[in-house]
Amino acid sequence: MVPTEPFLPAASKAEAVARIYALAGVTPEALGPGSTEKKSVLVELARRLDLPVDSQAAKPALGAQVAGALGADWPPAAWSSGSTITLYGLNTLLEAATFELHRRAFLSTPEDLLAGQLEFGGFQHARSKLEAVNRISALTRSGPQVLGPGSKERKSVLVDLAAGLGLDVDTAQNKVALGAAIAARLGARWHDRHWSTGHTITLDGLNALLAAAERRLGLLGQSAADAFSTPADEAAALLVALADAIDTAWDGRTCVEAMRDAEFRHWRQTEWTGWYFEYIGIAALVNAYGGGPRRVRNTSFDYALHSTWDLKAHSVHRDDAAILNDLDAIEAGLAEPGGLGFIVLSGVADYSHSAAFDAWHREQRGAGPAHDRSRALKSGFVPQRLDAFHLPTMESLESARLRGEFTVMAQGRQPDGSPRKPKLKIRLDVARSSGSLVATRTLRTG
């Protein structure tokens, strides 16, 4: 069975491993020091596909075994010294596994095991606590949930679930006892593995409650893409995952080095803040909810769950406006199911070490020395807020343009003299007070 959409390669190792973990249906792991992938990404993928491999082999050899079992080539470009898989190699495995999973139709070993334990056939388990708590809260429309210190679930997710389902339980008891009471009211088992010391509910426990609540509501088997009933609900959940991944302050050198080490194809760009937001944001969203980038005609959008979304970074200044995609690409995106949205990260640019950063950046990308017309580069960035704007149809875009939220911006010509496509520009000050804004989140500051 051929996939309905062409394969879209990952743009960085962080994105590649996030998407492979999502295919494997397991809890993701972050890249290690020097943007090195964990061996588990190969082991879990092989386990998901039930491939005959030696999991004790070194990573390049294991990658070759996985690729061979999937009928893919494994050239020297797929790995490098130090037993490291390159972005090329990860994309090779990602593409082969994506096509193989479209060809097959079966549950992963963890899903099989969990479905049997829960006695709820067809349940699609959450791979992380963040996904679990937000799918639970989405069932009762009680708003997005963040995790507490140490990635602990907050008691409010259980209190809201009990209230939303009208369950007769004592919400004053501790989380573990409350989880057990909710499970009992929903006819689900509550095992020792569903909780741990310190009154903490495990991921298994959250999945047990999620499955039982879905069964009660007749929604058993829905995915994360189906869990959020409106673009606003989906956007609010996405902002939670992004906020969790965004540091309080970005240092230019550190961010560029991270992108470079992860083989992110845009690491050399001088407007690094927008690319760094894309670099960390796509991986964070895939790790939290699955989904991934989507290609619409000739344009790649950063992320799609039910709706399609693009990530933009904006430096706060007097002209409170941000440049978006080409107008024709946006019109194509609006023809997709779920419409098109933009998630804009606004923050304050830091130019205090611009000259030194510019010199360092030029050395990294192999550029010549600065000259009189050179623009000052941001040496840092302090993220302040996230806003999600959504347009369901072309008609909604036209209405928003009449309200002054969006304008079409003509561009100059290409170096060869050919015309550039016009872009869409969003007036953030207007759009935030109008119908296009569907979710917002203020970020923590240092």
Burial of 55 (0-12, 13-18, 19+ CB in 10 A): middle
Task: Tell me if 8 is assigned to some domain.
Answer: no
Range 189-214 average pLDDT: 91
Q: 208 and 239: one domain?
A: no
Residue 83 has pLDDT above 70, yes or no: yes
Q: 282 and 386: one domain?
A: yes
Q: What one-letter code names the amino acid at 291? A: G
Range 379-393 average pLDDT: 95
Task: Tell me if 3 is assigned to some domain.
Answer: no
Closest by Cα among 27, 29, 82 to 60: 82
Residue 109 has pLDDT above 70, yes or no: no
Whether pTM > 0.75 for this model: the answer is yes
Residue 1 has pLDDT above 50, yes or no: no
Q: 429 and 338: one domain?
A: yes
| Non-local CB neighbours of 8 within 8 Å, separated by 6+ positions | 292, 293, 294, 295, 300
Domain tally, the chain: 3
Residue 386 near residue 437 (C-beta atoms within 8 A):
no
Q: 280 and 399: one domain?
A: yes
Task: Tell me if 203 is assigned to some domain.
Answer: yes
- 167, 196, 220 - which closes a domain: 220
Task: Tell me if 7 is assigned to some domain.
Answer: no
**Bigger pLDDT: 402 or 119?**
402
Range 44-68 average pLDDT: 93
Average pLDDT, the chain: 89
Residue 111 near residue 37 (C-beta atoms within 8 A):
no
What whole-number percentage of the chain has pLDDT above 70? 92
Task: Tell me if 91 is assigned to some domain.
Answer: yes
- Categorize the per-residue pLDDT at 210 as very low, low, confident or very high, splitting at 50, 70 and 90: very high
- 94, 117, 140 - which closes a domain: 117
What whole-number percentage of the chain has pLDDT above 90? 65
Q: 314 and 272: one domain?
A: yes
Task: Tell me if 4 is assigned to some domain.
Answer: no
Q: Compute how many other C-beta atoms are within 10 angstroms of the C-beta atom of residue 186.
A: 19
- 194, 220, 246 - which closes a domain: 220
Q: How far apart are CA 388 and CA 438, in angstroms?
A: 6
Say which range, 118-132, 204-218, 328-342, 382-396, has the weakest mean pLDDT.
Answer: 118-132
* Residue-level pLDDT at 114: 52
Q: How far apart are CA 65 and CA 57, in angstroms?
A: 9
Q: 181 and 284: one domain?
A: no
Q: 249 and 384: one domain?
A: yes
Q: 308 and 433: one domain?
A: yes
Q: 239 and 345: one domain?
A: yes
Could you report the per-residue pLDDT of 426-435, keeping only the tens digit for each? 999 999 988 7
Could you report the per-residue pLDDT of 319-361, keeping only the tens digit for each? 788 889 889 889 988 988 899 999 999 999 999 999 999 999 9
Task: Tell me if 226 is assigned to some domain.
Answer: no
DSSP letters along 345-404, please?
A: EEEEEE-TTHHHHHHHHHHHHT-----TTPPPPPSEEEEEEEEEEEE-SHHHHHHHHHTT
* Residue-level pLDDT at 320: 85
Task: Tell me if 123 is assigned to some domain.
Answer: no
Domain that holds residue 428: 231-442
Q: How far apart are CA 372 and CA 356, in angstroms?
A: 16
Closest by Cα among 431, 432, 439 to 399: 431
**Bigger pLDDT: 106 or 9?**
9
Could you report the per-residue pLDDT of 404-419, keeping only the tens digit for each? 999 998 776 766 767 7
* Residue-level pLDDT at 350: 94
Could you report the per-residue pLDDT of 241-255, keeping only the tens digit for each? 999 999 899 999 999
Q: Dihedrals φ, ψ of 168, to 5°?
A: -85, 85
Q: How many residues does the chain have?
A: 446
Q: 176 and 102: one domain?
A: no
* Residue-level pLDDT at 70: 93
Residue 307 has pLDDT above 90, yes or no: yes
Q: 242 and 361: one domain?
A: yes
* Residue-level pLDDT at 4: 55
Range 178-204 average pLDDT: 91
Range 191-206 average pLDDT: 90
Q: Compute how many other C-beta atoms are within 10 angstroms of the C-beta atom of residue 323.
A: 13
Q: 30 and 135: one domain?
A: no
| Non-local CB neighbours of 412 within 8 Å, separated by 6+ positions | 420
- Distances, alpha carbon 7 to alpha carbons 86, 233, 294, 303, in Å: 18, 28, 9, 14
